[in-house]
A and B are shown apart, each in its own frame.
Chain A
Amino acid sequence: METKDKVLMINPEKCTGCRLCELVCAVKHDGVSNPSRSRIKVMKWEMDGVYIPMACQQCQDAPCKAVCPAGALSRNDELNTIEVDQDKCIGCRSCVAVCPFGAMGFNSIDRKVFKCDLCGGDPQCVRFCEVECVEYVDVNDVAVIKKKEAAAKLHAKSHKVALKEA
């Protein structure tokens, strides 16, 4: 599978808030059920019916990598991910503090930081998300997909008729 330029694309509008992504993420990585171990996390505003999954953006100029004093974080060009080398990690949590998305986790059970590794190119959050809120797409397609969705909405607004497919 060509993974070099693939990224997670999240469309929060579609999230049903079921948190299956959190469950399968923990089972895949740690063999246990425990959302506090999940790399992806659904943030909720229950009284507004708003659910937004948050995950690592695998930044190009990653603050976690820049701040790490132990050189434990590096870019995997093959998968387009930022990786943690647990042997080098000193557990200072600077990366947790600096991440603008809260995507770097610290596990108080194992006392280690953890982050999304895109499951080595087959992200389980995507595989299990039946409503396709979380998708794994080519980075070049993200903007096109978003454009088309936005265009469909504009069309629906001006014509009061929704197109069959966004």
Chain B
Amino acid sequence: MSLDRKIAYINLTTGDVEVKPIPLDVRRKFLGGRGLDAYLLLNHSEKGCDPLGPDNPLIVSGGILTATCASATARTHVMAKSPLTGLLGSCNMGGFFAPEMAWAGFHHLVIKGKAKKPSYIYIHNGEIQIRDAKNIWGKTTTDAQWAIRDELDDQEVKSLVCGPAGENLVAFANVMTGIKNAGGRTGMGAVMGSKNLKAIACRGTMDINIAHPVEALEYNKRFIDQITSAKVNKTQGTLGTPMIWGATNSWGGVRTRNFQYNQCEYADDIEPEAIDDICEDTMGPYHMSGCFGCQVHCRAQYRIPSGPLKGKYEEGPEYTSQGAFGGETDTPRAETVLVGNHLVDQYGMDNLETGSLISWAMELYEKGIISSKDTDGLDLRFGNDEAVLEMIERICFRKGKVADALANGGIPASKTFGKDSFSYLIQVKGMSNLHSDERATPGLALNIATSSRGSDHLRSRPAIDLYHLPEEVLQKIYGSPIPYDGKLSSEHTEYIGKPWQVFWQENCYMGVDCLGICKYHTTFLGATLPNYEDWPKVLYYNTGLEFTPEELWDISRRCNMIERLFNLREGLTRNDLEKGDMLNHRYFDEPTRRGAIDVVGRVIDKKKFVKMVDEFYEHKGLDKKGNPKTETLKQLGLENEPSHML
């Protein structure tokens, strides 16, 4: 039974390991995955702890449904206090790691302390060892994984690793598994590096009992048919996430030259079909691959088609890499995107943060705030492909003044660069925005401003807002499982009803993250995909636990509130530009210059934005300052946190 999967507390300083069951009442409050991770983080960290110090707990998990007979339960979640933001650190990745950890007997790991020398954790069928990583330290993300397999003499081992960027404490270093499954954002790889922890390796052959196997199998088939019937997933399975690029860029939703334009011109070379041609030329007609148990298979395979790295195998690139190394830096060349994608995967570095910070530095270079003296002669102008790739390398290895500063993250770097560099930095809570431009989409702007891990598109984005669905359809989606009697608008440029949509999506994404399912299997890019009405059945057939949709909704709200409590404890203040639910002034002051008729010339209306935040807070049960009301905490059963149940 997935419910008998355990939690392990591993102290790298002392070498102590303690294994405990996860009580049912904890499951009923937080389910598992990201939600339970948030509870563990709040309970196992002290206020103001150093993100790169031994007291910052690194929490690794699978969801309550991981490796059960449900669709795409491949997700691994990692949480700690973020070295990038000083607030909540959280990342989520596909691949095959979390299922292997579940077959090895565990759902959650809480890793504290710091190993005296480079180490890795090996988990095999209920046993946990801390091993010497002297032969693995310094290796790239893939070399490290294969070296661990060789050392353990088991080619089935699945590992979660940090790359050289994590070892070098780059504030936005990833944890990685497989070739390109990246736990990006918020620098969880640096937390690994700070603990001298190179990897967590898992191998498991323990049964996970399915409560009702016949029904689980049949329901899974139904669920999968629903997933694969969505047009958006069919396209994802053909082109991968690059499919988003074509529509978004032509429409004017891609920020270019940092934040100066909202559309990348002359970008034919990185159109999804062009990238797909390269995949087909180098890997053949069937070049899509999938994470564990997933039928969307959105991960493309390719070999670098030209240049010094010609022939190197890689996966992706995701939409994020097109933006990071093509759009933002105004270098829309396939080779730059594909090589850039390869480098960040090998070094274990967040593509989004890396590209955003390079393009920010390029704007500072253009404005004379940093000069070629600061860059050791590197011509850091927009459109310089070599400079983009060179900067990736320099940031990972902290070479030179500019790259070393950027490796600490945007806000610390702005203090190094001085002048008005901060005002050009497109970030929220210290984390750079995706390359998307939200000036024409107030709902999406509210999403990035209030997302718990900083500017982010995967924590509360109402992406279907761009589909202009009829209001009746929106009411049907957003009016369940909790009735909503307010107005909703089909217009992406409107402010009406968006706070509810963002609130609803925040809960929906927390739901899948607790279950351990991929977001492509819920209401994210596809309006017809499963959510609260379907999850109780999947949970019941697989675990035997009974929930109503409303109960799952409450669990999602509770877990989001725990993340909020953590952020508030660590200094989140509503209008603070560094640690608040606030956007860079450019969203309000600089109109978009390009794009379709309903995009060009737009800014976010600050008054209406403030009203949206008020309304969003109201939905969440927060006061005007963004603190939870007493009755909200009582209703969610969180009035006594930290409650130390685990």
Point out residues on A near B: beta carbons under 8 Å.
13-20, 23-24, 27-28, 30-37, 46-49, 51, 108-109, 124, 127-128, 130-131, 162
Segment with Cβ contacts to A, from B286-294, B449-457, B525-533: B286-294
A19 and B292 contacting across the interface, CB-CB below 8 Å:
yes
A residues less than 8 Å from B289 (CB atoms): 16-18, 49, 51
A residues less than 8 Å from B207 (CB atoms): 30, 32-34, 37, 109
A13 in complex: contacting residue of B284, B290, B297, B313, CB < 8 Å: B284
B209 in complex: contacting residue of A23, A28, A31, A130, CB < 8 Å: A31
B69 and A27 contacting across the interface, CB-CB below 8 Å:
yes
Q: How far is the CB of B284 from chain A (nearest CB, A)?
A: 7
A18 and B208 contacting across the interface, CB-CB below 8 Å:
no
**Bound-state Cα–Cα, A51 to B288, Å:** 11
CB within 8 Å for A33 and B224 given contacts A14-B286, A20-B293, A109-B207:
no
Besides A19-B292, A33-B68, A34-B103, 15 new A-B residue pairs in contact (Cβ under 8 A), listed by A number: A13-B285, A18-B290, A19-B96, A24-B69, A27-B217, A31-B213, A33-B103, A33-B208, A46-B179, A49-B301, A124-B217, A128-B220, A130-B224, A131-B286, A131-B297
B residues less than 8 Å from A47 (CB atoms): 142, 146, 179, 313
B residues less than 8 Å from A131 (CB atoms): 286, 295, 297
**Bound-state Cα–Cα, A14 to B285, Å:** 9
A residues less than 8 Å from B96 (CB atoms): 19
B294 and A27 contacting across the interface, CB-CB below 8 Å:
no
In this complex, which of B216, B286, B288, B295 has the most chain A Cβ atoms within 10 angstroms of its Cβ?
B286
11 A-B pairs whose Cβ atoms sit less than 8 Å apart in the complex: A14-B286, A19-B292, A23-B67, A24-B217, A24-B220, A32-B208, A49-B287, A108-B205, A109-B207, A128-B220, A131-B295
A17 and B290 contacting across the interface, CB-CB below 8 Å:
yes
A residues less than 8 Å from B313 (CB atoms): 47-49
**Bound-state Cα–Cα, A124 to B69, Å:** 13
Q: How far is the CB of A58 from chain B (nearest CB, A)?
A: 23
Q: Mark B10-47, 1 if CB is under 8 A from A, else 0.
A: 00000000000000000000000000000000000000
Q: How far is the CB of B475 from chain A (nearest CB, A)?
A: 32
Q: How far is the CB of B4 from chain A (nearest CB, A)?
A: 12
**Bound-state Cα–Cα, A20 to B73, Å:** 10
Q: How far is the CB of A3 from chain B (nearest CB, A)?
A: 20
Nearest A residue to B214, CB-CB? A31
Q: How far is the CB of B199 from chain A (nearest CB, A)?
A: 16
Nearest A residue to B295, CB-CB? A130
Quick check: is B438 within 8 A (CB to CB) of the other chain?
Answer: no
Nearest B residue to A12, CB-CB? B286
Nearest B residue to A47, CB-CB? B313
A32 and B293 contacting across the interface, CB-CB below 8 Å:
no
CB within 8 Å for A127 and B209 given contacts A16-B289, A48-B313:
no
Q: Mark B288-315, 1 if CB is under 8 A from A, else 0.
A: 1111111101000100000000000101
B221 and A128 contacting across the interface, CB-CB below 8 Å:
yes
B residues less than 8 Å from A31 (CB atoms): 209-210, 213
Nearest B residue to A129, CB-CB? B295
Among all A-B residue pairs, the 8 with the closest Cβ atoms: A18-B290, A31-B213, A16-B290, A49-B301, A16-B297, A36-B205, A32-B207, A33-B208
**Bound-state Cα–Cα, A19 to B178, Å:** 15
Quick check: is B206 within 8 A (CB to CB) of the other chain?
Answer: yes
Q: Mark B183-223, 1 if CB is under 8 A from A, else 0.
A: 00000000000000000000001111110010011001100
Q: Interface size on B (CB < 8 Å)?
A: 39
**Bound-state Cα–Cα, A90 to B179, Å:** 43
**Bound-state Cα–Cα, A124 to B295, Å:** 15
A13 and B286 contacting across the interface, CB-CB below 8 Å:
yes
CB within 8 Å for A23 and B69 given contacts A16-B288, A47-B313, A49-B283:
yes
A18 in complex: contacting residue of B210, B294, B315, CB < 8 Å: B294
**Bound-state Cα–Cα, A21 to B286, Å:** 18
Quick check: is B228 within 8 A (CB to CB) of the other chain?
Answer: yes
A residues less than 8 Å from B217 (CB atoms): 24, 27-28, 124
Nearest B residue to A127, CB-CB? B221
Q: How far is the CB of B609 from chain A (nearest CB, A)?
A: 42
**Bound-state Cα–Cα, A96 to B319, Å:** 46
**Bound-state Cα–Cα, A154 to B228, Å:** 31
**Bound-state Cα–Cα, A46 to B210, Å:** 29
Nearest A residue to B302, CB-CB? A49
Q: Mark B130-163, 1 if CB is under 8 A from A, else 0.
A: 0000000000001000100000000000000000
B residues less than 8 Å from A15 (CB atoms): 286
B205 and A20 contacting across the interface, CB-CB below 8 Å:
no
B residues less than 8 Å from A130 (CB atoms): 224, 228, 295
A residues less than 8 Å from B210 (CB atoms): 27, 31-33
A34 and B208 contacting across the interface, CB-CB below 8 Å:
yes
**Bound-state Cα–Cα, A13 to B96, Å:** 20
A18 and B297 contacting across the interface, CB-CB below 8 Å:
yes
**Bound-state Cα–Cα, A124 to B218, Å:** 11
B residues less than 8 Å from A30 (CB atoms): 207
Nearest A residue to B2, CB-CB? A33
Q: How far is the CB of B645 from chain A (nearest CB, A)?
A: 27
**Bound-state Cα–Cα, A13 to B209, Å:** 32
Nearest B residue to A153, CB-CB? B285
Q: How far is the CB of B543 from chain A (nearest CB, A)?
A: 12
Q: Mark B241-285, 1 if CB is under 8 A from A, else 0.
A: 000000000000000000000000000000000000000000111
Nearest B residue to A11, CB-CB? B286
Q: How far is the CB of A50 from chain B (nearest CB, A)?
A: 9
Q: How far is the CB of B526 from chain A (nearest CB, A)?
A: 16
A35 and B103 contacting across the interface, CB-CB below 8 Å:
yes
**Bound-state Cα–Cα, A23 to B291, Å:** 13
B292 and A27 contacting across the interface, CB-CB below 8 Å:
no
Nearest B residue to A15, CB-CB? B286
B178 and A46 contacting across the interface, CB-CB below 8 Å:
yes
Nearest A residue to B216, CB-CB? A27
